[in-house]
Amino acid sequence: MAAKPKTVYSHSGDKNRYELDWEEVEGELVNSQMYWITSLQDGIPHTVPVIGVWYEGALYSCNPRSEQKYKNLKENSVCQALMGSSQLNGGLDVAVHGHAEEVEDMGGRTLFAEHLNAKYPPSWQGFDGAEEDMWVYRVVPTHIRAFHRENPLASARFDFPAGNDA
């Protein structure tokens, strides 16, 4: 299990009303159904939606090795994952900054498949981890920024220790 991150700051326009804590942010990471992964393609941001699962301190996802995202992240593993609400006056937005690393062992791939199939409805299920053409990866965070749009606005930054292993 990954170490709990260090809260670098948590700020709100009214400290008596609302400050973000790690448990709330991690809850959003666990419960979000759509994530956006940004990688670099020839130095230009390349952002695509993905489904994924947050557990053991990292965001896990997969995609075919033929996709551009795979090529980008194999070339440069630095990336970010974004999730949040499209509502102006509510919701929690989270940006996970880190690097992508492949989950190569069958035990890790199978565990990801179990988490994925438990989280999503039947129409999104079926991955079992053994598909050789699928690249399973995790985004290991270096830091996470969170923004709550309740009134007043609140923001926080959480840093992860170097060598954060999920």
Domains and CATH numbers, the chain: 6-159 (2.30.110.10)
How confident is the model over 38-91, as pLDDT tens digits? 999 999 999 999 999 999 999 999 999 999 999 999 999 999 999 988 777 778
User: Which pair of tokens denotes residue 99?
Assistant: 């690097």
Residue 26 three-state SS? helix
Grouping H, G, I as helix, E, B as strand and the rest as coil, residue 79 is strand
Residue 158 has pLDDT above 70, yes or no: yes
Per-residue confidence band for 166, with pLDDT thresholds at 50, 70 and 90: very low
pLDDT confidence of residue 159: 95
- For Cα atoms 111, 114, 117, give the angle at the middle one, nearest 5 degrees: 150
Model confidence, pTM: 0.89
